Amino acid sequence: MLLVTGGAGFIGSNLVASLNEAGRTDIVVNDAFGGAGKWRNLGKRQLADVVPPEELISWLDRRKLDAVIHLGAISDTTATDGDLVLATNFRLSLKLLDWCTATRTPFLYASSAATYGDGGQGFDDEWSPAALQRLRPMNLYGFSKHLFDLAIVDRFAKGVKLPPQWAGLKFFNVFGPNEYHKGEMISLVGKRFDEAKAGKTVRLFKSHRDGIGDGEQKRDFIYVDDAVAVVRWLLDTPSVSGIFNVGTGKARSFRDLISAMLRTLGRAPDIEYVNMPPAIRDQYQYFTQAKVENLRKAGYNADFTPLEEGVTRYVTFLNQPDRYR
């Protein structure tokens, strides 16, 4: 039996779908569903159980699991409730780590590219204590993920007992189906698709940094199927532990992303650049690009989906009456 926290969320529901499609139905999802239709992310799936967040720790008592895949988190990069974010993203992660250690259960968890902050220290996923301590996240979400990375690596460095397999995944800019519940945190393709399909001009942020043109802010955009493939590879490769970037290793501009969407819709580039809200300018990342050498050295050799192909696949989903995977 597998436990997937955050299993009704974006990456989590795509992972559940992939596992179901491979024949696994012994999957327990831990998540808060709310009333905004998040359940639809799992509307085509088969599950062994659904555990609400407040019952998770008691539910784990006397359980035996094949692995815990911990993807649940408050992932809003604009979140400001420090107590809630740290309780959810840091302290709960510690409890799950302790449980997996005590029960000898493999533990895979979502870290984030937000731990790299403005990128001033680069995007190298070296996970020695000294390397991690140099990072300066720019928002509360990134800080909470960084704290947990530091905690697990500190245990490793001191020779403290850990699960038989543990792996942190620094996801970069993941996009694809089943992210519709995320509000403002949805990817730009998902956010701008309906207006683009309706023939409207697509708006992007202007650059407020010298030397970077409007729309030339760059991210490492990775299609969700590739993120899921890395998780599944780790599940199948229990000898591999560590912290790994999950990106393509190739930064592309927001202009590239939206132009690919417009081309798929048969439209010419029609982009308007608007001022970035002052509230987010100081914590805005102008460039992210995963170094994926550590993942390759660990043995992961699958190709990553090119940006244009990923956008085309996503637009195909968005064009359907039923947009859910």
Residue 301: CB atoms within 10 Å: 8
- Write the CB contacts of 239 (distance below 8 Å, at least 6 apart in sequence): 165
Query: What is each CA distance from 157 to 122, 133, 151, in whole angstroms?
Result: 22, 13, 10
- Overall residue count recorded for the chain in this entry: 325
| Whole-number Å distance between alpha carbons of 214 and 204 | 8
| C-alpha torsion sign, points 95, 51, 83, 135 | positive
- 145 as an active site residue: the answer is no
Tokens of 228: 């899921």
Tokens of 16: 């559940």
- 141 as an active site residue: the answer is yes
| Whole-number Å distance between alpha carbons of 140 and 144 | 6
| Residue in 38, 109, 116, 141 annotated catalytic | 141
In the block, tokens 């683009």 appear at 196
C-alpha 309, offset from chain centre? 19
Tokens of 106: 């493999």
Q: How does DSSP classify residue 306? A: P
The residues with which 205 forms a beta bridge, in sequence order, are 274
Closest CA to 257 of 185, 171, 198, 176: 176
Query: What is each CA distance from 325 to 17, 123, 231, in whole angstroms?
Result: 7, 31, 18
Closest CA to 91 of 104, 76, 103, 74: 74
| Residue in 44, 182, 250, 291 annotated catalytic | 182
Could you give the residue numbers annotated as active site?
141, 182
